[in-house]
Structures are given as C-alpha cells and as structure tokens.
Amino acid sequence: MHNQTSMPTFLLMGFSEIRQLQILHFFVFLALYLTAITGNLLIIVAIAFDHHLHTPMYFFLINLAMTDIATISVIVPKSMAISLLNSRWISYFGCVAQVFLYFLFVLSDFLLLTIMAHDRYVAICNPLQYETIMHKGACVQMVAIVWVTSLPYAILHTCGTFANTFCSIAVRQFFCEIPALLKISCSDFYLVEVGFLVISASIGVGCFIFIIITYMQIFSTVLRIPSMHGQKKALSTCLPHLTVVSVFLFTGVFAYARPPTDASSDLDMVFAVIYTIIPPTLNPFIYSMRNKEIKTALWKLFDHGHSSKSFSRVVF
C-alpha cells in the first residue's frame, strides 16, 4: 500500500480464521470480561455501602477497581465484536481512542498500585502516624496526581504514534497496540515514539524498584512482630499485590520495551492477553476476596438484598 498520513480504517489480527474457534474466543473473552466487571463492581459497591471500609486503603482499592473496569473495557468488547461478527475492521479514530484510553487507564492503574504499596508501608512501618500521613486530603491529592500525570502521558504516546506515516492497514495484534502500529510505520518519526516507550519502561522499572524497596522495609518490620498471627495478617495483602505488580510490569516490558520488528509471533498475542486482561480480572480476588473485611461487607450486601426480597414477598 502506498504511504498515507492517515487511514479511514485499520485491520486488526484475529485469533483464528476458523469460525468455531472465533466463537470459542468470543465466549472465553466474554467470561473473562464479565468476571472482571462483576468482581470489580462488587468491590466498589461493598466499599461504598460499608462505612467501616471508608479508609485510605479501600479508597485506593475502589479507584483501582474503577480503572480496572475502564482498562479491560477499552480492549475486550471490540475484540469480542471482531470474533462474533467476523469483521476485523476498526476505524482510524477508533484506533486513536483505543491507544489514548488504554495508556490513560493503564498508567493510572500502575500508579495506584505504587500508591497502595506506600499506603501499606505507612500502615505497617509507621502505624502511629498513619492517620496523620494518610488523611483524606492527602489521599484525594494522590489520586488527583495520578490522573493529572496519566492524561499528558496518554496524549504524548497517542500523538507520537499517530504522527507517523503508515504503509499498511494490517495491525498484527488483536487491538491497537503501539508496537504493532510502529511495525507498519514507514517514516523515521517512529523512532520518537520508540524513545517515549523506552522512557515509559524506565518509569515503570523505577516504580517497581520503589515497590521492591518499600516491601523490603515492610518485610523487615513484619519479621520483628512477635506474633505469628500478626505476621500473617500483615502479609496477607502484600504478597498478592507484589505478584500482580510483577506480572503487570514484566509482561508490559516484554511487549513494549522491544524495538519494532517485522516478525510476529503467537507469543505477542499471549503476552498481550496476559497484561491487558488477566490483571483486571484477578485484582478483585487477590486484593479483596482474601480480605476478611471485604468478605464481611459482601456478605452484608448479599444478606441485605436477600432480606429485601423476602420482605417484598411477605408484603405483596
């Protein structure tokens, strides 16, 4: 295809050309999507309606749940529509929106994970000053900084990507992923976006190092707790959090930190699925379902709904 500065549509890569496998992909992604949406919505509702959970940790958790819903909603519905309708087209502006929104929400997600590590550090290592440091105003400011930082970051990457001249409409990925878009660029401007991606990877590694150092101090404090029960309670949310951050970062670096090449592999698709779909789906379980306070709030929520239905039957 001859060089074009803009295109009306892009052609995304499907998981299979076989119709039965396309339908299977649709139902698998539908199950993952509904699981992620339902799990995160339950967390949001449980925290919102239980005043005992109106603390900094759960304030950040409710924001994380909202960004997880937004992140997975940017990618999965379009991919499901492609498989169901057997049409791999996405409009140029739809692709632009997908890149912008994904980077907006994914950076917000990672920054929130970093803030949550800091919150756990203050709670475990400096409990006497926890309320003074993590007061309501400070928490709101932290979340505001997350969004203020994420917005120009997303604009920067979107502009850096679509300022390129594209020589093809075939994107070798199931969504508009920047490395896949750079592979079909036929201008030298793509080097600018590659530089942005390297800087982004450096920021991600910096945040990860901050989290590691934070948890080293947390573990050091926990080991000094005389009670084994106290140690287990303190670590109950630390190890899952660290696991998700590791998966989130390493799969993202694998996909984004490599220079664009003409080669494409099924491994790209696998890692893309892992870092776009798995974290938002697992987060409600690893952060909340193993948390006794969240479990109690959910049981209260379900019990209240059951009681309301029973009362309605009695009255009517």
**pLDDT tens digits for range 47-91:** 888 888 888 988 998 999 999 999 999 999 999 998 888 888 899
Instruction: Compute CA distances 250 → 206, 246, 262, 272, 315, whole Å.
Output: 13, 6, 22, 11, 56
* Mean of pLDDT values over 5-22: 77
Question: Higher model confidence: residue 231 or residue 1?
Answer: 231
Question: Could you tell me the domains of the chain?
Answer: 9-296 (1.20.1070.10)
Question: Higher model confidence: residue 4 or residue 92?
Answer: 92
Q: What's the predicted TM-score (pTM) here?
A: 0.84
Q: Tens of pLDDT along 137-157?
A: 999 999 999 999 999 999 988
Spatial CB neighbours of 199, under 8 Å, sequence gap ≥ 6: none
* Mean of pLDDT values over 110-128: 89
219-245 in b/e form (b: 16+ CB < 10 A) is beebeeeeeeeeeeebbebbebbbebb
d(CA 52, CA 55): 8
